[in-house]
Every structure is written in structure tokens, then in C-alpha cells.
Amino acid sequence: MPRADITASQASRIRCYLLGSSPDASVARELWSCGRGATYSAYRECIQQRKQVAAVAAQRAAFPGAARGGGGGGTGALLPRAAANLQSLPATVKYSFEGVKHVLAEASSSVTALCFAALRNDLMAFGCLDGELWRVILPPPAASAQAQPTCTKARKMHCGAVTAVDWAFDNSQLLSVGDDGSLCVWDPADPSFPCIRSVCAPTTSFLCGRFHRVNFSLAMVGTSAGAVEVLNCSTGMLHSRYQVTSAGSGVQVTALDSSNHHVFLGDSVGILHWFTCELHGRQLSRLKHAGKLRLATGGGGSGAGGGGHAGVGVTALQYVPFCRTTDTPVLMVAQQDGSLCIVRANEVRHTADLYLRRVVTPAAGPALSSTAIASSGSSSASRSRAGGAGPATLTATAAAATVTTTATALLRFCPAVCPLSVIQDVPLITYGSDDTAVYIVDVTARSFCGPVGGSRGGGGGGGTVAGAPLSERPMTVTVLKAHRAAVTAVAWTYDEALLASADAEGTVVLWRRSRLF
């Protein structure tokens, strides 16, 4: 029958038949608004609506009395809960966990870098303080409960701590960066997990590293000399080098991430830099400096221009392509003093501004702190006795300095953004604390904890009471406790089905998130 001869009623029946025969294929065409609302967020909402309709249909089939709305309690009370919109549920319900799925105790030293593969929740890798690198293959969901992950230790190529681990976009290669100035590219598909390329720069330290998003033959690393170097992973040659900070200033590039068009860098004095990528086809031609933003601390202000004095170092930097709260790409920036900053990025105008700042103040782990203080105090006292009479104040000062240096070197504040929270609702951030717990916090909802004391600087938006700044903390959504040492790294799978957390004793815990539907 020609299309012009089809009536509206016939077209409606044909549409209903197609919807019933292939519901998955009808999502984008029938329910997703292809006009003004054609965004990734609208598409995610469409998928959630389809899941809710399917859940209601399944419960009606299981409980026929619920379909008639049955009076009384019975099964009719189940329908409103199954049909509830995920957007309306509180974050404490959405981010609940069934418990621990696996515990990996293969490593013997602190885990310093942790990362899941792209678009896979059965493959991950982590690096340790002693230079070891591990590949973990998780059993499929259909496997029995007794199935255990397969952990493979790579040949040791790093003499120092592994500072960064990154996967290529197709998971065909794995990048690891060490603070001894070594960079290695691995083949994760090979059962023996071989190293296929290694680059060494003994005159500097590599503090962070990433594959280039468009061309994973190029790797970008931040160095202790305040520069970013682009290396060709195929040849091992230096592609280009860009000095981010003044040479000889002692400022280091400590965090790095990139989008398709920009490279974002954080340094050891709390300044965010961004470079534009000039591409010829899919090849990176050069990086061009586009601007910088001072992340002021200690009441130095929160304006886009920075202001205030230099802050503490940036420990983590994560680029998020879309955030529903700001309707723009954002950067999650974490600093050593516990500051969490959300920075809006305008990639068209090559600008960025500070959206909000929150301060987390996790409690110190009593066991770890007591041990460190005792060991440092005894060693300082013994050195004092060996070298003759020494003032008690100098011994106490040396012990305190040793504790501070050890804690700073060991415990890096490295949070991670919950990947789906920025699309569906508000940004939620997961971080590990030195009190052995894993926290999930809502950075848009704030709680005031009173005047700031000690070295913890107040948030950018905090008020003042009697001249003392107020610290704005994010609202805690979930607290997970299973570690016996300070948590040093966290990572999510792309679909938020699993959360991985690692601690200072080398233990990696995999948490299984609860399924609401």
C-alpha cells in the first residue's frame, strides 16, 4: 500500500505493532524528543522511563490484583514504589550498596593509582607505591558466587611509585606512569600482560599522565619540573614539551586531564591551567596556552579571577563532559587540604570559572596516626640520644615534621565523580579518607561546621563569624566501611554498578551497588 493511502488510524496501529514487537528499538524514535530536548540528559531520562514502565508491567503480571488497584494493603502498595521516578528518590536511597563483592589482597604496599577500563565493568588495573602494576579481570555477572577475580602482576618496570594509570578508549593499551621518570605502555589483552613500550626520563619525575583522548598513540605527562610533555607511544620519542610554570621555580604539574579540545593541568601551588589542542585531522599539532585560574584558599576568595594567595597543591583533576546542574562541562578539582572545587569550563570561549567550593575534613585514623607518631617519636629520641643531649622541643618538632611529611607523601586526596550523577541529578563525589572510610557526598548541598581551625582553609562561599571564616562541607550521602587502613584511591565503573576502593595496605575492595529496578 502506498504511504499516501495510509490513514491516521492505520498508521497508529502500525506504530503500536512496531512498539510491541521491538520496544528497545523504539526508545530514541518514539519517546526521545528530537527537537529542543535532544540532549544526553533527555536520552538518559527516556531510558529510565522505559525501565519504570517495564517494572510496572512485570509487577502487574506477577500480582494481578495490583493492576485493578485492589483496595487495602496487599500488592497494590507495591506499584507506586516500582513506578517511582528515580529523579525523585533521595541520593541516600539511590546510592545504597548491597555489600562487598570482592576483596583483593594481592599487593603488599599502598595502592596509589586505580582505574577501570572504558565501558567495561569486568576489567581494571591498579599501581602501587613500590612500583608494581596489577591487572584484574572480574568474573562475569552470570558466574557463580564462588568465582574469583584473576589478578596478574606485570613485570616490574617502575623503580618508584606508580603515579597514574590510564586506559586507551578501546582498552587495547594501558598506560602507567612512575615518579622515577618512567612511562610504560602495556598490552592488557595478552595473558602474560607484557610491556610493549617504555620511556625513561631520569632527570625528572612524572607525577601524572593520560592518553590523548583523540589519538592514544600520544601520552601526556606532567613533570616535577613544571612542564607537560607529549610522548609518542609508538616510537618512544618526545613529541613536544611545554613549560607550564617558570623554570626553576620548584612548581610541579601534579594533575592532568583532557577533553577532545583542551588539556587541563593542576600544579603544586593550586593553579589550574588549560591549553587548547590544535589538531590536523586526528593528529595533535601543538598545545596553545589558553588561560589559568587560581584556586584561592584560606579565605582568599572564590572569584573567577582567583585573587588571594597561592593555595596548596592540586591532587586530582577530572573532566566531566556534561553536568546537569550547570548545563556545561565541568572540572572536578581536589586539593591537598581537602578542598573540592567544581569549575565550569566554556570550551568555545576557552575560559573557566569557579562554580563552588566545599571542604571535607575527614577524621584522622587513630591506629595509623598513633603508630606513625610513636615510630617517629622513638626514632627522633634515639637520634637525639645518639648525637648527645638535644632539647626536647627540637625532638618534638622533628617528630611532628616527620609525621606531617609521611602523611602528606602517603595520603593523597584523590576523589572521583560518580559518572551518572552529573547527568541525572546533582554532582556526587566519592573519596577515601584517612579514617579508613569511603564517603559519597553531595557537593551542591552544604553543611556548616563552624569556624575553621588550624590549617584547614574555609570554603570560597563561607561567611564569617567574629572574623573567623566558616567551612562549608558537602552533605554526606553514604559512608562505606570495610578497610583497615587509610583509603588512598577510589574508582567507579562507567555504569556505576561497581565501586572500587584501595587502601594504604594494598587491599582493594569492590562494592556492589544496589539495583532499584
Whether the CB-CB separation of 117 and 167 falls below 8 Å is answered with yes
**Residue 4 lies inside a defined structural domain of this protein:** no
**Residue 96 lies inside a defined structural domain of this protein:** yes
**Residue 322 lies inside a defined structural domain of this protein:** yes
What is the residue-wise DSSP string for 388-411? S---HHHHHHHHHHHHHHHHHHH-
pLDDT higher than 60, residue 467: no
List of long-range contacts for 45-49, beta carbons under 8 Å, 24+ apart = 45/87, 45/424, 48/85, 48/86, 48/87, 48/424
443 in the same domain as 357: yes
212 in the same domain as 77: no
3-class SS of residue 9:
helix
| CATH assignment at residue 435 | 2.130.10.10
381 in the same domain as 235: no
359 in the same domain as 482: yes
131 in the same domain as 51: no
**Residue 424 lies inside a defined structural domain of this protein:** yes
392 in the same domain as 334: no
Residues 6+ apart with CB under 8 A from 326: 342, 344, 355
CA 423 to chain centre: 15
d(CA 244, CA 258): 15
414 in the same domain as 403: no
Q: In the chain, how many H helices and how many E strands? A: 8, 29
**Residue 5 lies inside a defined structural domain of this protein:** no
More confident residue, 41 or 33: 41
More confident residue, 68 or 22: 22
**Residue 3 lies inside a defined structural domain of this protein:** no
**Residue 38 lies inside a defined structural domain of this protein:** yes
Domain end among 68, 88, 108: 88
d(CA 267, CA 460): 19
326 in the same domain as 374: no
Instruction: Give the residue-averaged pLDDT of 219-237.
Output: 94
How much is the pTM? Answer: 0.73
d(CA 317, CA 256): 6
Q: Tens of pLDDT along 411-464? A: 468 999 999 999 888 899 999 998 999 999 999 887 766 544 333 333 333 333
Instruction: Give the residue-averaged pLDDT of 205-222.
Output: 93
Q: Tens of pLDDT along 497-506? A: 999 999 999 9
Helix (H) or strand (E) holding 443: strand 437-451
The alpha helices in 149-245, defined as continuous H runs, are none
Whether the CB-CB separation of 254 and 314 falls below 8 Å is answered with yes
**Residue 386 lies inside a defined structural domain of this protein:** yes
Q: Domain range for residue 232?
A: 92-140+147-363+408-513
Number of domains the chain is built from: 3
97 in the same domain as 57: no
CA 263 to chain centre: 17
339 in the same domain as 391: no
